[in-house]
Amino acid sequence: MDYVYAAITGYLCGSLPTAYWLGLLVYRLNIFEHGSRNMGATNVYRVLGKIPFAMTLVIDILKGMAAVLIAARLFPGSPPAIFTAAAFALCGHTLSFWVKFRGGKGVATGLGVFMALATKASVSSLLVFMITLAASGMVSLGSILAAASLPFFIYWFKELGPIYNPYLTAFATVVAIFIIYKHKANIQRIFKGEELKLGAKKPVTKAVSDIPPSPETTEEKK
């Protein structure tokens, strides 16, 4: 039953739809109807600005940390139960029952989870993210590379000791694959050179009916 309780604890922590509630209660808008139509912090930045972005980012990170720390308190000496809570925190964030099983891509909540589980590795991955963002301006690329580097850092720093390090490394690998998969559309845009950089807004495309006819076309109709 410990695993069931751990899963419920993790899911409830992770499922809190920070960006959705913030947009709805403070700004009277549905974040799923604007920008990239997800409740990730990057979309909040583009749609609502820096302060809501910072609030969303911090709370999403704290959700992941809370899931792990609460599980560690409830199930001391049971890393498998803690891993279960961590995994379900990510599931809760990406498939939140509060918003009809929609959500974000799990990056910020994943950072919170691993900040609690593997601090050194998480800080190292965060540095990878920041360097990539500074060099490319793309949050998505930074998130992908940070996620990919995390299992290597966990193994390198021997997080959780020799007994549980292989399990934590495997868990981080699964999470990294999941996060990278959630960015599949971003990866396609990166290869096409179409990925937006931080601060850029999605260009507005006009429908054909909104484009006024050229003078030549008007003359032909006459």
DSSP letters of 41-74?
HHHHHHHH-HHHHHHHHHHHHHHHHHHHHHHHHH
211 lies in a domain?
A: no
Are 150 and 108 in contact, with CB atoms under 8 Å apart? no
pLDDT of 200 reads 65
**Which of the listed residues 91, 109, 127 is the one where a domain comes to its end?**
109
Shared domain for 94 and 122, answered yes or no, is no
Single out the residue of 45, 63, 65 nearest to residue 137, CA to CA: 45
Residue 87: domain span: 1-109
Domain identity same for 101 and 137: no
Task: Examine the domain organization and report whether 158 and 62 are in the same domain.
Answer: no
Cα(170)–Cα(154) distance, integer angstroms: 10
Amino acid identity for residue 133 in this structure: L
Tens digit of pLDDT per residue, the chain (222 long)? 899 999 999 999 999 999 999 999 999 999 999 988 889 899 999 999 999 999 999 999 999 999 999 999 999 989 999 999 999 999 999 999 999 999 999 999 999 999 999 999 999 999 999 999 999 999 999 999 999 999 999 999 999 999 999 999 999 999 999 999 999 999 999 999 999 888 666 554 443 344 445 444 445 444
What pLDDT shows up at residue 213? Answer: 53
- State whether 27 and 96 are in the same domain: yes
C-alpha–C-alpha distance, residues 73 and 66, integer Å: 10
Question: 185, 172 in Cβ contact below 8 A?
Answer: no
What is the chain's Cα-based Rg? 21
Of the three residues 89, 109, 129, the one that is the final residue of a domain is: 109
Q: Are residues 157 and 190 in the same domain?
A: yes
Give yes or no: residues 28 and 93 share one domain.
yes
Calpha distance 14→94 (Å, rounded)? 8
Same domain, 101 and 131: no
Q: Measured between alpha carbons, how far apart are the two ends of the chain, in Å?
A: 79
What pTM was estimated for this model as a whole? 0.85
Asked if residue 213 is part of any domain, the answer here is: no
Q: How many domains does the chain have?
A: 2
User: How far is it, in rounded angstroms, from Cα 206 to Cα 194?
Assistant: 18
pLDDT at 201: 61
Are 104 and 122 part of one and the same domain? Answer: no
Note whether 57 and 87 are same-domain residues: yes
Distances, alpha carbon 206 to alpha carbons 194, 209, 210, in Å: 18, 8, 6
Q: Domain check: are 80 and 127 in the same one?
A: no
Structure token digits, residue 159: 């997080």
| Structural tokens at position 92 | 């809760």
Q: Are residues 8 and 99 in the same domain?
A: yes
> Residue 102: helix, strand or coil by DSSP?
strand
154 domain residue, yes or no = yes
Nearest to 86 by CA among 116, 124, 58: 116
| Three-state DSSP class for residue 196 | coil
pLDDT at res. 80: 93
50 domain residue, yes or no:
yes
Please identify, among 109, 144, 161, the residue that sits at the C-terminal boundary of a domain: 109
